[in-house]
Structure 1
């Protein structure tokens, strides 16, 4: 079968707000939010080769989302449409928040994955520096079944309190990308493209964003790779539930490997960006499906 020279792909990232037992003012319980969130995920990935990267997901939410994504009135196969990778950050199993990556196993073959703790002891559940919470990055290598193109995917949620923690975590993530590139390039396969999605808890002028998009980094902000007049939807990605007394901000991102303004890129441009969007998180019913908005990019992956 002849495969197109450029592979179309959608990447969606969303901090879904953990299922708290003590909701904020303006926040509805997970039981009332989950179907709205599933509707968003279904609609925005239907008939798409897609990755879904989520943050703040407790185990019961993970089960609900996995079950909901695979629920269809017209099942075409006994095999699940969606699978996921990820662990709870508190114990490396089911405790605490996950940063899972959902993928379609009929489209993508999972080659390897791991959870890295963003601390001085990255192999075990831990936190370091000024972090208020344990933080992780989920890392995976996927091979596209039809084209054999390989993608390195990362999903993270950085600390909301610790500035140094975010700074150090950004460097750990960049080192992990380089580790995978070096390891795979020394073998028989090559990575076609890298992406990092997540809630950085960092605005553009702050530490994590600055490190991850610096000229020395291989990554660039997908929003900057699309002409601003062609953006769809909102600019801000964190809204709260309307009673926090804080202004909305942009702290959720999808970063793509890019040659734009890079020192060590060697001219490589693996992704062509077709579209960038920040979706709404509340409609006429007045219910926030999360205190964050989803970020979506449509890309073409080169050979």
Structure 2
């Protein structure tokens, strides 16, 4: 088995109308938070190109993948950052949450184009010897659902369960897949909502296919839960009952602990209008899964 720490963080786009909470005032707080908690993988939502550059510069022990949602790679992105001392990226890509996912596009009454970025990562070989069982490729998917259209959130969830299943690889006779899955992002949806039910296989109206993978809510399943039960702030206060930032995992991944991080910066304010979610996960090998069933 292997362990991985994954952080999901909506850092808010650089909006000059935020005045003293604009990016220039929050940038160091965001970077310091990530550097202190040192996740193996950090998945960000909303950063514009200049913000992505700041994150790459400030988090130089991480390799970044992902692009912006606009043609040419501009606009908001969902980058994934991977700690190079522990993991390496073997493949990655971005697709759009629309009826034409391979090209910049928007559908289903969404206010903006929406994307998902994915990375297939592997642990670096251990100095003590080869990588242990359960340490093969891991698929990390990072997304941000539309904030206006319920239809866009619903259809985005339906699109993602199929594409994630395809990216994870065909199922094996023992029930395993080529890649385990960690799915993170700002879904603009709370637990139990229709998009959340679709992603976790609990929506009976969604047609099932052979290659889909049912995901589990890592927060709900965690042995240890820490921090606020909401993930939304106004930079000063928490907004109650708004857990819209999620970590979902495939069945072969155990959620040991999940924390909603309420760290404040040196101004005494939250560095974003979202709190980051940090999950400590343990992945079992196919052999250990079959022997325990």
TM-score norm. by structure 2 comes to: 0.84
Instruction: Give structure 1 regions of 4+ aligned residues with deviation exceeding 4 angstroms.
Output: 183-186
- Any idea what SS the aligned residue of 1:231 has? strand
Match of 1:23 in 2: 18
CA deviations over 1:166-221 (Å, ceiling 9, x no partner) = 111111111111212345969xx953410100000001232211211124651011
Tell me, what secondary structure is at the counterpart of 1:249?
Answer: coil
What residue is the counterpart of 1:236 in the other structure? Answer: 230
In the superposition, the TM-score normalised over structure 1's length comes to 0.81
Partner of 1:296: 278
1:152 counterpart = 2:135: no
8 Å CA contact 1:130, 1:164 repeated in 2: yes
1:59 Cα deviation (Å)? 0.8
Does 1:42 find its partner at 2:35? yes
Cα drift, residue 243 of structure 1: 8.5
1:194 counterpart = 2:184: no
Count of matched residue positions in the alignment of Structure 1 and Structure 2: 266
Q: Which runs of 5+ in 1 are unaligned?
A: 1-5, 71-80, 259-269
In the alignment, structure 1 residue 135 sits paired with structure 2 residue 114? yes
> How is 1:69-218 mapped onto 2 (pairs within 5 angstroms)?
69-70=59-60, 81-93=61-73, 95-146=74-125, 147=131, 149-182=136-169, 191-215=178-202, 217-218=213-214
Q: Give the Cα–Cα distance (whole angstroms) in 2 for the partners of residues 172 and 195 of structure 1.
A: 16
- 1:255 aligns with one of 248, 251, 270: 248
Paired residue for 1:220? 216
CA contact (8 A) 1:281 1:290 kept: no
Secondary structure at the aligned position of 1:23 is classed as helix
The change in CA–CA distance for 1:130 and 1:242 in structure 2 (over 3 A counts) is: farther
- The reply to whether residue 59 of structure 1 matches residue 49 of structure 2 is yes
Distance 1:283 1:182 in 2: 41
- Aligned partner of residue 126 in structure 1, secondary structure: coil
RMSD of aligned Cα (Å): 2.3
Output the CA distance in 1 between the equivalents of 2:53 and 2:265: 25
> Alpha-carbon deviation of 1:7?
1.2
**Is the 8 Å Cα contact of residues 66 and 94 (structure 2) preserved in structure 1?**
yes
Superposed CA deviations along residues 250-297 of structure 1, whole A, max 9, x for unmatched, are: 100000112xxxxxxxxxxx2122211000143673322000000011
For residue 8 of structure 2, the aligned residue among 13, 19, 26 is 13
CA–CA distance in structure 2, aligned partners of residues 231 and 190 of structure 1:
28
With over 3 angstroms needed to count, the CA separation of the structure-2 counterparts of 1:167 and 1:226, relative to structure 1, is same
